[in-house]
Amino acid sequence: MGPQLNFIFSLFLLSGSLLSIGFVMKKQLDRETELIKSRNRDHLELDYLQEEIRQLMYQLTTQQFENIFGSKEVYERELNKRTELKKALKGCTNGSLEDKSYIIDLISDLLIKYLIKKEEVDKVIYFDKPQFLSEKDMFDILMFDYWRNYRTQGLSQLIEEEKWDQLQQSDNEELPVYAVSREQIVSAYRKRRIQLTFEDKIIIIAQRIYENYKGFGVIDRIRDMSIDGISGGVSGVIDTSWEELPNRLKTSKQLPRNYDSVWIFYKGKSIYLSFLSFGNHKELKRICQNIYRYNKAGQLSENIGYKVNEMQDGSRVVVVRPPFSESWAFFVRKFHLKNIALEHLFQGEGSDKLIQMMIFLMRGARITAITGSQGSGKTTLLMSLVQHIYPTMTLRVQEMAFELHLRKLYPYRNVLTFKETETISGQAGLDLQKKTDGTVNILGEIATDEISVLMLQMAQVASLFTLFTHHAKTLKDLVLSLRNSLLKCDVFRDEKVAEEQVVRVLDFEIHMEKDSQGHRYIERISEIVLCEKNEHNFDKHHEIYQENIIVQYNHGSYDFINPITQNQVELMKKSMEEKDGHRFIEFINQQWSEVNYGVNREGSFEKETIFQGN
């Protein structure tokens, strides 16, 4: 019975193998037949080419080739190629431009070798028939042309040339808006008369295939550009019945849906790209589920309705989903690591003196809050100010997501950054920082009551000085917000005592603003001056502090208003190196000659200047 069973078993395995081989051969034959049919049509479907590329990629990453090559050297080379391909396929979804370029080049090679003949390229996208090009086709061609000429500055160049960052009237809004319409895309495309070679067309097709295969859909090329940010799913009608719409909208022929929502953030302006769409809800959801996954960010679910993470290039990404938000949406915020010198950030009359004042605040080790609304430039200013902290000082940074990237900007500085995780809170991170020999504490953003309290505690005892950002609109708002955090966390029970504690910690506030045209500027630099108690004001109604405005922005000019108080000047000079101290005294004497901050040979001040308030 044994030999018979073995024979039957072997026959069964052979039959199965033959069936498998037959199935694979039939599938391959069907694919080749479909390709022949496609070539006989006037149009080669992108969806079909994408599926072919997907199959070829699968073969390249899974095929067995142990016995194909004759030498160990060739075998190892092919194995390394496969390893590199797998790495690039993973890295390209995290925002790596290098890995993305590798995959697009490979797709281009596969298209030329197996799928598209030279005479067929215009069947995929109608390059030779502009009248049949969609707005997306035109935009892709424009982006290719501007990318090869300007690289990551391509979109900025196009926006400036076409004046897409200027307000314009809209058929759908009473007031002017920032938006790019289908008509504007057609106009921009017709102006260029772009000449494309066969290889150029293949790259454009490869990019289109890539963005739907491994990329981020219609925003894939835009995300690579040097703009301030991009978002999707933040406008348009969500699944709803016609009866639920306001009467003024029921007359519209076609309302945008939530997946027709692509916005860019450019020089402080939110610009709606109305000609772009993700096409359907499923595609928008795919982008949201993939764009945040760098570095194992965890699962987005109904219970965990949002994720904050960074991408490989340092961009911050926020993703939200129902039921936490009304629809799937994402926000990518880009932080440019080039040209963040203070001289590039601020221009106008008096900007040189403004910059010098901020440098002295850093050299003088002042606890400084950088305040302002979202998009006003707080993070960029903070990144730039770090350059002017003495390099002998050690920096410890706490963030919700890695945004400052100070070690990329200043690789020779002693810098270590911590961020919140699902298991380690920001409070725990700040507690740990006390044990890491930090001289300067930097907080990317004061976002919770607990972080506010810890910042105030650390600024008092755990570091030489502290820098942080906050969304307060005024100095009063900043003080009240920090005071309320102390009360909520039961550190103090009396409002006046808590407020005095805040004022004793803070030295200066730099407030950022952004006007309707997206222009960012420093609205003011204020000193927080504690009002000392005496026999005349010792009651619960006395003012605890006064705002001493040092610098103020006035119609394009930075004006120096009130002098810094004598006590702050003395503390700042003591914290500076000797040469900087002399320059500082010379600088403030030039700005406020009536005060004359003189110093004697021993380095102490000859007279006292008292700030009298505004």
Task: List strands edge to edge, sheet with 316-320.
Answer: 179-180, 269-273, 262-266, 229-232, 329-333, 316-320, 306-310
Which single residue is written with the structure tokens 């160990």?
Answer: 72
**Residues contacting 387, CB < 8 A, separation 6+:** 341, 409, 410
Rounded CA separation 547/252 (Å): 52
Q: Is 550 within 8 Å of 559 (Cβ atoms)?
A: no
Q: Please report the sign of the dihedral spanned by the C-alpha atoms of residue 429, residue 430, residue 435, residue 441.
A: positive
Spans of the chain, pLDDT less than 70: 1-43, 65-70, 240-253, 337-339, 533-541, 596-614
Closest CA to 398 of 327, 468, 321, 456: 468
**Residues contacting 515, CB < 8 A, separation 6+:** 521
Cβ neighbours of 126 (radius 10 Å): 15
**What 3-state class would DSSP assign to 526?**
strand
> What fold is seen in the domain 342-591?
Rossmann fold (3.40.50)
Sorted by where each begins, the domain ranges of the chain are 130-142+153-200+215-238+256-333, 342-591
Half-sphere exposure of 169 (CA within 13 A, CB side): 2
Structure tokens at 239: 């699944």
Indicate the DSSP class of residue 120: G
Q: From start to end of 163-273, where are the E strands?
A: 179-180, 229-232, 262-266, 269-273
Cβ neighbours of 100 (radius 10 Å): 23
Query: What is residue 277's predicted lDDT score, i.e. its pLDDT?
Result: 96
Query: Does this model's pTM top 0.85?
Result: no
Which amino acid appears at position 539 of this protein?
Answer: D
Rounded CA separation 534/513 (Å): 37
Task: List strands edge to edge, sheet with 520-530.
Answer: 415-419, 395-399, 440-443, 465-470, 368-371, 508-514, 520-530, 545-554, 557-560
Query: What is residue 15's predicted lDDT score, i.e. its pLDDT?
Result: 55
Instruction: Report the CATH architecture of 130-142+153-200+215-238+256-333.
Output: 2-Layer Sandwich (3.30)
Exposure string for 129-148, b = 16+ CB within 10 A, e = fewer:
eeeebebbbbbbbbbbbbbe
Query: What is residue 248's predicted lDDT score, i.e. its pLDDT?
Result: 60
C-alpha distances out from residue 96 to 61, 90, 91, 501, Å: 20, 9, 6, 46
**What 3-state class would DSSP assign to 396?**
strand
Query: What is residue 538's predicted lDDT score, i.e. its pLDDT?
Result: 47
